[in-house]
Amino acid sequence: MKLPSIIIFFILGLFKISAQNDTLAFTNANVITMKNETVLKGKTVLVSNGKFVDILDANNQLSNAYNIIDCKGKYLIPGLVDGHVHLYKDEDKVFRNAPLYLSKGITTVFNMRGDSVLYSWKDRIKNEGLIVPNIYTSGEFINEPFVNTPIEAKNQVLKEKALGVDFIKFHEYFSDEERRYLTTEGVSVETFDALVMAAKENNMPITGHGMFSPHFENILDQNMSLAHLSAYLEYHLIPDGTDAFQKFSKWTKWALLLISIFSIILFFKSKRNRLLSSILFCSNIFLFAIWFNTVWVGNSVLIYSMLLLTVVIVSVLLGFLFKNQHFNSKIKNVLSKTVLIVILSIFTYSISYWIPLFFRNTNSAIEKLADKSSNISVFTTMLLEGPNWFGLDHSNELKYLNKPIADRWSTMEPWTTTFLSRWKESNLKITDWSLSEKTILQKLRGKANIIMGTDAMGFPLIIPGSSAHYELKLINKFGLTPFETLQTATTNAAKFLNKENEFGTIEIGKRADMVLLDKNPLQNLDALDNINGVLVNGNWLNDKKIQLLLKEIESK
């Protein structure tokens, strides 16, 4: 049942008073500052005026000015950051989904598309003392057809800086009104270079999508951060895009089919070559079999390319043997030679794609790609890819969303079926896509600045808050240690904005954002599932207060 507005108003009023007057002491705490992996045991963390003011031993005497919060030996970590969200603009509420984020320890969000409404939110939050996660936002997407020249790119950066945005977002322009992308080919290399240069000159971080124009290599050369880890797969491991990939895939299938027919003919025509023709036929059947169970991105393309190359070599060898076979009919002889030429032509055309793809997917090539990424940030957003997305269970959180969205997302089965079919039709099988992301993430480890991001509210079923926990556990599952995983949602996020002195760790002088956990997350990230309370901008919200805020936004 929805709480009466006057009760909620009273609760929030108390929160505003706390924001102004509370001086807090978190006693008997095990503190994970995130400066390193050390756990500071039995400490007291002092907070005043929204800042950390000291970290003391538990036996230090405290003045009566402090409001004591006994942590009872539990664990304090810095507030978490979701580095890739899309804030939903409700008509009657500022940051309606804030309780969902806070309930999962998310005290800061990076909004990836801003407008005048969101800019006004930041002012209202500050002026009205609203207790919500800290918001950093980009401006409107920058790309053609609205930015076409170097001068226009520079002017757009200056315009967004004047509006107070925190970073630049390079992205295909999408019209909410028309529900379609207006960007067609992308900006020129000169325009892109001018955009990045203008952002650097104005001390504004820049992130965005990989694009075919400018080329992915240009993006990395200019050290633009990537809003999605999957950009490596979409624009490097499949360098010509899924359309070109599917075209070459079809040619390869036809080549394999013709080789199979060719091997059958040779089997019956030449007893001497039956062993080779049998091997060739079986190889083709094997390639067809694995074709429909593998996605041709990432390391799996290495296996397939090598097998395909072997088939080509064997088929060429048998082709020359077949060339020396003579049929009784002149027409059959001409036909046999024609079939051989067609087969070899198609395979040559197919190999012209597969061989470069093979080299792009070698271990050394991916290592070089990771080395080129050493000066950029990469936002993960792996949750919305393939099996990671299909495995989501957000049934308990849907009730907290805006009702039209909750109703639509609760009946997503037809949509997910269509989505899954699209993946299958393009040969992008979901299991290996996820495996390829794992490979890229492991290569970027220790090189790129990896940031946890979910694309919350930018994609169906990616619900604020809980999605961040899914994403963190996925990052951990894919090879990063618990400490490294937590860095992606704390220190690494601050580094992207060049605000390491403001947030990301529990240190004197930094913004007082913390999460109180029952257990040590450095041992197991499942500890994130048991949050006892959240401190945001120096405002303490215990579990009861958070539940009241969630109750207020529950849909009817």
3-state secondary structure of 514: strand
Average pLDDT score over residue span 318-329: 59
3-state secondary structure of 45: strand
Predicted local confidence at residue 127, as pLDDT: 83
The strand pair at 514-517 and 75-78 is best described as antiparallel
* DSSP run (H or E) holding 70: strand 67-70
Predicted local confidence at residue 116, as pLDDT: 83
Q: Which residues contact 281 (CB under 8 A, 6 or more apart)?
A: 260, 263, 264, 267
- If pLDDT is split at 50, 70 and 90, which confidence band does 157 have? very high
Predicted local confidence at residue 390, as pLDDT: 53
Q: Mean pLDDT highest for which of 118-132, 133-147, 251-265, 385-399?
A: 133-147
Gap between the Cα atoms of 299 and 360, Å rounded: 10
Predicted local confidence at residue 17, as pLDDT: 35
Predicted local confidence at residue 206, as pLDDT: 96
Whether a cis peptide bond, with omega within 30° of 0, leads into 404 is no
Count each helix (H run) and each strand (E run) in the chain, helices first. Answer: 20, 18
Gap between the Cα atoms of 241 and 243, Å rounded: 6
User: What would the 3-class secondary structure string for 425-462 be?
Assistant: HCCCCHHHHHHHHHHHHHHHCCCCEEECCCCECCCCCC
Give tens-digit pLDDT for 269-288. Answer: 767 767 777 877 777 777 66
3-state secondary structure of 377: strand
Least confident of 288-292, 314-318, 442-446: 288-292
Residue 111 dihedral angles phi and psi, to the nearest 5° = -85, 130
Give tens-digit pLDDT for 377-415. Answer: 999 998 766 555 655 666 678 888 888 888 878 776 544
Q: Mean pLDDT highest for which of 83-97, 123-137, 404-418, 532-546?
A: 532-546
Its pTM stands at 0.82
Gap between the Cα atoms of 455 and 228, Å rounded: 9
- If pLDDT is split at 50, 70 and 90, which confidence band does 294 have? very low
Pair 51, 19: CB distance under 8 Å: no
Least confident of 231-235, 349-353, 483-487: 349-353
Q: Mean pLDDT highest for which of 143-147, 223-227, 277-281?
A: 223-227
Gap between the Cα atoms of 321 and 336, Å rounded: 12
What is the percentage of the chain residues whose pLDDT exceeds 70? Answer: 71
To the nearest 10 degrees (0 to 180), the angle between helices 241-269 and 330-360 is 140
Higher model confidence: residue 413 or residue 529?
A: 529
Strands in 449-451's sheet, in edge-to-edge order, are 168-170, 206-208, 225-226, 377-379, 449-451
As a whole number, the mean pLDDT across the chain is 80
* DSSP run (H or E) holding 450: strand 449-451
Give tens-digit pLDDT for 416-473. Answer: 444 444 444 444 444 455 667 888 898 999 999 999 999 999 888 889 999 999 999 9
E strands present in 116-269: 134-137, 168-170, 174-175, 180-181, 206-208, 225-226
Whether a cis peptide bond, with omega within 30° of 0, leads into 145 is yes
* DSSP run (H or E) holding 25: strand 23-31
Strands in 134-137's sheet, in edge-to-edge order, are 80-85, 106-111, 134-137
Predicted local confidence at residue 305, as pLDDT: 62
Predicted local confidence at residue 330, as pLDDT: 66
Q: Is the pLDDT of residue 245 over 70?
A: no
Q: Which residues contact 64 (CB under 8 A, 6 or more apart)?
A: none
Q: Is the pLDDT of residue 50 over 80?
A: yes
Gap between the Cα atoms of 53 and 26, Å rounded: 12
Q: Is the pLDDT of residue 318 over 70?
A: no
Task: Count CB-CB contacts under 10 A for residue 92.
Answer: 5
For the chain, helix, strand, coil in percent to 5 are: 50, 15, 35
Token readout for 19 is: 């924001």
Pair 33, 505: CB distance under 8 Å: yes
Gap between the Cα atoms of 113 and 111, Å rounded: 6
- If pLDDT is split at 50, 70 and 90, which confidence band does 171 have? confident
Average pLDDT score over residue span 190-200: 94
Token readout for 164 is: 């107070």
At position 163, the amino acid (one-letter code) is L
Predicted local confidence at residue 230, as pLDDT: 85
Name 47's bridge partners: 24, 52
C-alpha dihedral, 275 to 278 to 283 to 288, nearest 10°: 180
Closest CA to 373 of 224, 478, 205: 224
The strand pair at 106-111 and 80-85 is best described as parallel
3-state secondary structure of 268: helix
Predicted local confidence at residue 72, as pLDDT: 95
Predicted local confidence at residue 46, as pLDDT: 97
Question: CA dist 486 to 175, 274, 474, Å?
Answer: 35, 60, 12
* DSSP run (H or E) holding 512: none
Closest CA to 262 of 205, 308, 312: 312
Q: Is the pLDDT of residue 480 over 90?
A: yes
Closest CA to 343 of 284, 279, 273: 284
Least confident of 109-113, 236-240, 396-400: 236-240
* Residues found in the chain: 556
Predicted local confidence at residue 397, as pLDDT: 82
Predicted local confidence at residue 426, as pLDDT: 41
Task: Considering only the C-alpha atoms of the chain, give the largest distance between any 2 of them, rounded to a whole number of Å.
Answer: 109
Gap between the Cα atoms of 204 and 504, Å rounded: 19
